[in-house]
Amino acid sequence: MFRWATVLLTLIAVALGATPVVAQTQGDVDRAETARDTAYQQLVSANKRVDDAILAFELVSSELYELDWRISLFEQRIEEYEEQVDGFETTAREVVIDAYLGAGGSLIGSAFLVPSLQDLITSQELVERAADEKITSLNRLTAFRREMERVEVELIEDQADIEVLKSAAGAALSELEDAQEAFATQYRRADAAAEDARARYEAEQRRKRLAELARQRAAQARKSGAAAGLPASSTPGNVCPVLGGARFVDSWGWPRSGGRRHKGTDMYGPQGRGNPLVAVTNGRVVHSGSSLGGITAYVYGDDGIRYYYAHMLGYSDVSSGSRVAKGTILGYVGDSGNARGNNHLHFGMTVGGRAVNPYPTVKAVC
């Protein structure tokens, strides 16, 4: 059998589905929330540093993209000018030949004094003899090509430097992102801890309020002599009215609708709705019903006590007015009457027309 020598706080913990609550103070909550705020500020700072690192990385990458583009343009222009130079050199050779044929040995002598054909065709003597204006631009074209090659070398050097910067920026970004994730994890934990501390504190405050309420109601109930119930000697051999045992608290005298006071014990069976209900002692069963109690039954015990079963789902096959033996199934746990949605047995006891608290009696047998 269930041995629920229970108090109100235990029932409330079960009803709320609560795990054991460790007492929390407002100071515990304040410390947890301070830790959460600190972790949040660290996370905000880490996010800012990551944003700055992303900006730096993007700027370096942008510079690198622009350099790559400029280098490709210079390479394209150099290739175009080299083609033009090749064409001019062909033209220059023709001019040299024409000049040779027209000038004779003097140009040949000049040819032996210059190191290359290009220097020859751009020499002052050839320019003076050449009628083709394209030859005069050859020197400028070659100089431009050399300048472009110099710029290209500088750009490639810059490109290498920026590659190094990009690599460093990428490494810094990765490191900061790792730090950001660590701070985010720390914040999530601190936030969870603060929420847990707050929940525990509020649960502790609820527990205290409920305990105080239970104390007040118990004090009110004690004002009535009936709250003490009957001694065990008055109900020898009784069995639990709920087959298999039950969960319950001493709620005698607690407020009920319409200004009434509770005149019984609410009992919750292990099977819930449909749990069998049995006669607590030998006697006679009478079926009844009301708007408050719903489907009800009375057992007029041979011990002179009338036992009351309310909110039943229905009766067993035992007819009203029949004699019943202790342990006979009378009906089943339900929520009829004003107990809609709350499947339980309201169990009451009356002696000499006066209701008494059934809690001590059922506590001894359930």
* pLDDT higher than 80, residue 173: no
Q: Among 55-59, 62-66, 122-126, 331-335, which range has the highest average pLDDT?
A: 331-335
Q: Per-residue b/e over 317-342, b at no fewer than 16 CB within 10 Å?
A: ebeeeeebebebebbbbbbbbbbeee
Residue 12, CA distances (Å) to 206, 211, 256, 271, 302 in order: 10, 10, 18, 19, 36
pLDDT tier at 85 (50, 70, 90 boundaries)? low
Question: Is the overall model pTM greater than 0.85, yes or no?
Answer: no
Span 265-306, pLDDT tens digits: 999 999 999 999 999 999 999 999 999 999 999 999 999 999
* pLDDT higher than 60, residue 138: no
Of the two residues 232 and 163, the one the predictor is more confident about is 232
CA–CA gap between residue 163 and residue 60 (Å, rounded): 8
Residue 313: its pLDDT value, please?
Answer: 97
Residue 78, CA distances (Å) to 65, 72, 74, 172 in order: 20, 10, 6, 38
Go through the domains of the chain in sequence order and give each one's CATH number. 27-194 (1.10.287), 229-365 (2.70.70.10)
CA–CA gap between residue 159 and residue 71 (Å, rounded): 9
Residue 99: its pLDDT value, please?
Answer: 54
* pLDDT higher than 90, residue 348: yes
Pick from 116, 366, 140: nearest CA to 240: 366
